[in-house]
Amino acid sequence: MLGPALTGFLTGFSLILAIGAQNAFVLRQGLLRTHVFELCLLCALSDALLITAGVAGFGAITAALPMLPTIMTLGGAAFLLVYGALRLKAAWDGDYHMTLTGGSAPLAATLATGAAFTWLNPHVYLDTLGLVGAVSTQYEALGPKTAFGIGAVTASFVFFFSLGYGARLLAPVMTSARAWRWLDIGIGIVMWALAAKLLLS
């Protein structure tokens, strides 16, 4: 079972490794050191649910609902554009007093934003229901298929908690409003670039 589990882990890890909208948000929250555990758990559990559905063979949902990818693309792009604009506005305003003193949005708002980054991202369905599900089809027996799924789910937990808690290693650099301004500019640009990629693909 070790082989399928390792394949699942590497497959899952490689798909979420690239810095995307969700990862950028987790990184920023990790730098703030607030609601990190809850956010990482939300992201990992969401991935686990989607990966389980993909391995179980529910990737056919997108085939049964041909309009779903378009709806998710438009919704995801709109959310990314708005959040990117908010980060760029924050950089323009330059008021980082609350940020520098460890302030953050309330837990409910943080989790709602994290959920939006996860569930409004059409690529997450392609990665989990589509790609992970497709790779899992090489295992026909229940045991190896389950091991593959567990490996992929484990990769999500390892990645998100490493990103969230590893972000504090950058804390010594993020001690000035200028550093946070550049971070927000970078995140805003990433969000808009991802939105453009969604709309143009």
* Domain boundary assignment for the chain: 2-200
For the record, the structure tokens of 99 come out as 């940020």
Q: What is the residue-wise DSSP string for 85-116? A: HHHHHHHHH---HHHHTT----HHHHHHHHHH
Q: Which residues are CB-contacts of 140 (< 8 A; sequence separation ≥ 6)?
A: none
- In sequence order, the 6+-apart residues with CB closer than 8 A to the CB of 103 are 32, 34, 97
pTM for the complete prediction? 0.74
CA distance 94 to 69: 37
Give the Cβ contact number of residue 19 at 10 Å.
Answer: 14
Give tens-digit pLDDT for 77-98.
787 788 789 888 888 887 766 5
Question: Mind listing the pLDDT tens digit for each residue in 142-157?
Answer: 888 889 999 999 999 9
| 3-class DSSP assignment, residue 199 | helix
